[in-house]
A and B are shown apart, each in its own frame.
Chain A
Amino acid sequence: MGKLKLCFYWAASCGGCEIAVLDINEKILDILEIADIVFWPVAMDVKYADVEAMSDGYIDVCLFNGAIRTEEQEHLARLLRVKSKTLIAFGSCAHTGGIPGLGNVSDRQGIFDRAYLSSPSTVNESGVIPQVKVDVEEGSLTLPEFYDTVMSLDQVVDVDYYIPGCPPPPALIEGAVQAIAEGELPPKGSVLAPPKSVCDECPREREEKNITEIKRIIDFEPDPERCLLDQGIVCMGPATRGGCDARCLKAKMPCTGCGGPCPEAVEQGMAMISALSTVLGLFSEKQEGFDPEMIMEQLKDPLGTFYKYGLPTSLVNRRVMKR
């Protein structure tokens, strides 16, 4: 068997997934042992035309990071789907929509208004807004139009596997590469991460005791040994897929959910609401000192808390889907 043909591509992402690949450091040489990288815009000079010229299925594995927001990104997703035998959504944005997916709380108009008209540092008396086509003195200039809605990769094309995380932790990247090299990939549609939650990897002691108050990390310094949820902090650990070694918890901060939902969960936010309602004793109605309304009042920004990385793939995404 010849070397594997590997491709990395980025759509709507921050570049952090590319840095994550560099951060496996010398192990990147192991990848080069078994694979030729045929397309990687961040590191190589291969043109889109070269990809278009490839035969269908020419690429063995494509690791695709970033969400989809523009016509160009959608075009590349479709192109790489056809050219790749295996397409992997790499990182939170491609997997569940990621932080840019929070853009679905607004739309193009809302984003433009804030950036170009109402921002306090912007001086724009004549209300100039960037246009798709502009005639300047010397000729015309064009800009691509972007969609109202941010989408995950599998909302645009068929995806074979997912590597979660923002960015994916080195161990998951190395594990995926090994599985690819040995041809031991799990059934299609699998998330390439251990089937456990962040709590399973967290060194903190959990008593699963009922709490009567929701607190914020900003307001107090939690005990470093005890479970944050036990201390009243909304930590996304119970509803989030592990494989990250609970790195945020070890930095003494709560999990914010970048690993996406656990294997059996329908949806990450719902799973967290369910986990919370258990510890909040919502099912044991007359618990002393418990006031459900007060709890709801204490739970700030549920959307940004439960769906920080997954709004586009959540059930609450948006009512009217319009690209």
Chain B
Amino acid sequence: MKRVTIEPITRLEGHGKISIFLNDEGNVENAYLQIPELRGFERFCEGRRAEDMPIITPRICGVCPVAHHMASAKALDSAYGVEPTPTAKKLRELMYSGYIIYDHTLHFYFLGAPDFVVGPDAPPSERNIFGVLKKVGLDVGREVIKHRAYGQRITEILGGKATHPTSCLPGGISKGLNEKEKEDIEKMARSSVEFARFTLGIFNDVVLSNKDYVEMILSDPYQLRTYNMGLVDRDNNVNLYDGDIRVTDLKGAEFDRFKAEDYLDHISEHVEPWTYSKFTFLKKVGWNGLRDGEESGVYRVGPLGRLNAAEGMATPLADEEYDRMYETLGGRPVNSTLAFHWARLVELLYAAERTVELASDPEITAKDLRNPVGDPGEGVGVVEAARGTLYHHYKLNDEGLMEKVNLIVATTNNYADICMSIREAARGLIKRGEVSEGLLNKVEMAFRAYDPCFACSTHAYPGEAPTVVDIYDSEGSLLYRRERNLS
């Protein structure tokens, strides 16, 4: 076995780190994903003014600031006992749909597509966005840049700034939409629907038409049988902005359903000494370690978790795609980690269609933007961030200052799943100590599918982190080190 010389470990630990341990036979004994940082938003938000929370918390993550902005505003709605006006609700959801267009586009083309479009065994120097553009052509590249920018532009129109918007506050939103802005958004949204369909077309042609890829998606190393969680509307369709939190079991049946404010009765967090991130689990089932199956309270969130936890999509084209995905992959729930990519594109189409619906609503330019707030109290706000269910829980004192803050962030919900997916992929793919670049990439594909955002997972830095993979032999010596960036 070849020993690879490496630089000191301390130089690199500011980022996500995977350690894979081999046994005497050179097979995988265990694998760990460590999150090496913590920031403490819960602590330093204490004492801040309520209205500052939708300004401060987006700085948890510059990739998904809109999710934090919105969860924060909703937690304050609830803490002040105020319903946003009908127009404010629409405007917020409109901003939210624009954000999903931007975020899902970014992930698919920059992170996911290189593995499929360029290929999982291609050299790392080509397996990036530039490699994707080389394969699909510069015209497509321009469309990608354009529609990512559209998503950002929609947030900017409604929130003042695309990164770290400012307009949502308890009871509504500070800024309305004029006719010109409405028209602009509608145009961008219609174009985004076509772009989402086009992207699903690429997925169809490149991935689903390739027997090897379909086999890879359905192969054992990429399976994980867990509960699933996501927000649903009254008809059990996926909803990203609001609804009940629904949990489905391993057979796809409803296992639990609750309102945001009751979250503490349904989910809890577990602490391990080897990582700064916590692990969430279903209270009813309990924490039984990093294992899947019915006996384990681990659940999945994010695009695949949401689609599994629902029964359809609320817009027509996305609903067709939803059905097609489950027909192709053998019914609900789908347990293949790699199916996250497909689910993400179904949601991209949904978000674009929903943006059209909202932007073409004649009432969207109405002037009822804010309702007066009541007395400050306690509240919980939940949205579906691009990467999964996001909980903000605030307790205010009678002056409207933050007394206590609790945050359970999208990637934290998926942390146990990501750890297990890496371990299972490593076990299935690395045999007799043979490690290659292509194999390691296939291990990484198991967690890249989740679009893990380490900024979110411990409210740590940075946004989408470079990662180190270390492989140790049974004596604990480092055999191999690999560094690469996730985006």
Contact = CB atoms under 8 A, between A and B. Distances in A.
B32 A300 contact: no
B275 A111 contact: no
A130 B47 contact: no
Given A100-B59, A111-B38, A41 B401 contact: no
A284 interface: no
A124 interface: yes
A138 B116 CA distance: 33
Interface stretch (A173-181, A201-209, A245-253): A245-253
Interface string A1-37: 0000000001111111111101101100000000000
Contacts of A122: 268-271, 278
B485 A103 contact: no
B52 A136 contact: no
Given A66-B461, A218-B50, A41 B466 contact: yes
A48 B464 CA distance: 17
A128 B273 contact: yes
Interface string A161-177: 00000110000000000
Contacts of A300: 49, 399-401
Contact of A116 (B271, B400, B406, B455): B271
Interface stretch (A67-75, A185-193, A314-322): A67-75
Given A15-B61, A45-B125, A304-B52, A248 B269 contact: no
Interface in B21-59: 21, 29-30, 32, 34, 36-40, 42-45, 47-52, 55-56, 58-59
Interface string B150-166: 00100000011111111
A114 B43 contact: yes
A12 B145 CA distance: 27
Interface residues of B, number: 95
A167 B476 contact: no
B60 interface: yes
Interface in A107-161: 110-116, 119-124, 128-131, 134, 136-144, 146
A70 B11 CA distance: 11
A75 B63 contact: no
Interface string B127-159: 010000000000000000100110010000001
A119 B267 CA distance: 13
Contacts of B51: 216-218
B86 interface: no
B10 interface: yes
B65 interface: yes
Interface string B172-208: 0011000000000000000000000000000000000
Given A19-B63, A121-B267, A251-B167, A130 B272 contact: yes
Nearest to B165: A251
B56 A14 contact: no
A217 B170 CA distance: 10
B329 to A, nearest CB: 32
B274 A15 contact: no
Nearest to A131: B273
Nearest to A12: B461
B62 interface: yes
Contact of A70 (B14, B128, B269): B14
A293 interface: no
Given A13-B462, A42-B487, A216-B49, A106 B43 contact: yes
Interface of B: 7, 9-14, 19, 21, 29-30, 32, 34, 36-40, 42-45, 47-52, 55-56, 58-63, 65, 80, 124-125, 128, 145, 148-149, 152, 159-167, 169-170, 174-175, 263-264, 267-276, 278, 280, 287, 369-370, 373, 393, 399-401, 404, 406, 408, 455, 461-464, 466, 472, 476, 483-485, 487
Given A45-B124, A111-B40, A251-B161, 5 more contacts: A25-B145, A102-B48, A217-B51, A251-B165, A308-B56
Interface of A: 10-20, 22-23, 25-26, 41-45, 47-49, 66, 69-73, 75, 98-100, 102-103, 105-106, 110-116, 119-124, 128-131, 134, 136-144, 146, 166-167, 216-219, 221, 247-248, 250-253, 256, 300-301, 303-305, 308
